[in-house]
Structure 1
């Protein structure tokens, strides 16, 4: 098939555009284009709208999200990236999305009505003890984190200790300027990586320029 190839599990390149196979046919989420190929429908995954798509566009080599995976999504917001992860994991998978903003949750609830593999929880990702009972001791294959708080690495550590399976993976979109608005960005990443290495193996890192300014995307594995 000309113009079609698989990049990762559930992630495809269709006519030069990163796409996922649409779990809810005929319906897009954020105005993205839909494509038909070989009898299936695909949704364009726009790198300027999603940090994971930006990382893939920047030649990320590792995307450890499989069909039927359980994903804890910290900072799910309106669900743009989560909707594509929903495509990848399929109906046998699960996304539990944590976000503190009631405003963004209202948009997400509309997506959850169509995508039954996403469960939203209004909570502060910095306080996992507040939602641990809601998750009934689920152990997740993957934690995806995209939060704009100063202690981003500590938030990931706390959640990984409680919820992430042994040797499970974490995908971290680290925003330097949320950690310090005055420090050198390169130095910020170096310091944060020292902390990350205490709890995770850094499998891969990708700078998200020009899609996101002052962001590094990490693929991590729990030690």
Structure 2
């Protein structure tokens, strides 16, 4: 077992985060003890960030007090693991589905660093009074104009802040080859960001990449 980032551990082909709420599971994940700490297994088939790490991404810049805007929180699987990592930080978590949010609230109620926001990420002005300037944006939104959502929300990102942009090719255009879509998305966000890395998420996710970029 090795700690590869703050509160993130790897043991062979298994990934873990240090559990912020001891004894609590979020999605039925395995809990293990390591040197007096309780760790939660982080499933790369249920979290794109975990998939990127398992594919070799080794520059995760989150700190214990980081502030993050998470777009597309869904039911909170990945958010919960980021909550473990940024234990003293804040995660402003935007989700537009009321059904997903009802499930997500069960997590946020016991994790004080998660701030749930029931709104559409394509209209960031709707939650301007609910969040602060953030160090990072993590976006996992299955909509056609994904890059436009990211650019709109960059108003909340500190200069020099980092984005993790999950690109779902089939959500943008199922008729084009994914590689063509990925190139176009990179071209679009290069207008405002400097690309520092891209990670293909196969075999964990088909036709997905994560683009990591820094706001100019």
User: TM > 0.5 between the two?
Assistant: yes
C-alpha separation between the residues in 1 aligned to 2:129 and 2:20?
29
Instruction: Please list every run of 5 or more consecutive structure 1 residues that lacks an aligned counterpart in the other structure.
Output: none
TM-score of the superposition, structure 1-length normalised? 0.95
Deviations 1:43-100 (A, max 9, x none): 000000100000000001221211110010000010000000000000x210010010
User: How much does 1:15 deviate?
Assistant: 5.5
SS at the partner of 2:81?
A: helix
Instruction: Please list every run of 5 or more consecutive structure 2 residues that lacks an aligned counterpart in the other structure.
Output: none
Tell whether 2:97 aligns with 1:85: no
C-alpha separation between the residues in 1 aligned to 2:171 and 2:70?
19
C-alpha separation between the residues in 2 aligned to 1:207 and 1:16?
17
C-alpha separation between the residues in 2 aligned to 1:16 and 1:192?
30
Aligned-pair Cα RMSD in Å:
0.9
Deviations 1:184-214 (A, max 9, x none): 1111111111111111111110100111111
1:157 to 151, 154, 157: 151
How many matched pairs? 216
Residue 61 of structure 1: aligned partner:
58
8 Å Cα contact 1:67-1:89 kept in structure 2: yes
C-alpha separation between the residues in 2 aligned to 1:51 and 1:16?
15
Deviations 1:125-178 (A, max 9, x none): 00001111222xx11000000000011111001101x20001001011110111
4+ aligned runs moved over 3 Å, structure 1: none
User: How much does 1:14 deviate?
Assistant: 3.5
Q: What does 1:1-223 correspond to in 2, within 5 Å? A: 4-14=1-11, 16-90=13-87, 92-135=88-131, 138-160=132-154, 162-223=155-216
C-alpha separation between the residues in 1 aligned to 2:215 and 2:129?
22
C-alpha separation between the residues in 2 aligned to 1:16 and 1:130?
41
